[in-house]
Amino acid sequence: MDTARRFCSRVVRFLSTIAMDPHLYFEHRWEAEIATLESRDDLLRRFDQLVAWLDGAGLSEGQVRRLDDELAADGLPTYSGMRDTRGRPPAME
């Protein structure tokens, strides 16, 4: 669950940045929710929702590369890797 929680937190920060969330409302709300989720199923639902948002965000190649670099720097699976395999990486299972 720790890997999924860390992935979600990193994606929330990334989405907050590209959405230009100047008051960090989105980031703080989601960070607090992710931190308090106790159920693996609830956390994976949030994970799936965040990945779906990324899929629909129309990210440029540069943004995807930046996100992948940030995830890899934290030792997390990359977004591109998830898109290539069409599913959750084994670390998220």
Q: For position 69, what pLDDT does the model report?
A: 94
Q: For position 67, what pLDDT does the model report?
A: 92
Please count the structural domains in the chain: 1
- Assigned domain for 6 exists: yes
- Assigned domain for 65 exists: yes
- Assigned domain for 88 exists: no
Q: Distance between CA 57 and CA 46 in Å, rounded?
A: 16
Q: Tell which residue, 17, 28, 21, has the closest CA to residue 54.
A: 17
- Assigned domain for 92 exists: no
Q: Is-contact 40 1, C-beta < 8 A?
A: yes
Entry pTM: 0.76
- Assigned domain for 12 exists: yes
Q: For position 89, what pLDDT does the model report?
A: 45
Domain range for 32 is 2-82
Residues 34-90 have pLDDT tens digits of: 999 989 899 888 888 888 888 888 889 999 999 999 999 999 988 888 776 555 544
Q: For position 90, what pLDDT does the model report?
A: 43
- Assigned domain for 90 exists: no
- Assigned domain for 74 exists: yes
Residue matched to tokens 């969330």: 21
Q: For position 18, what pLDDT does the model report?
A: 83
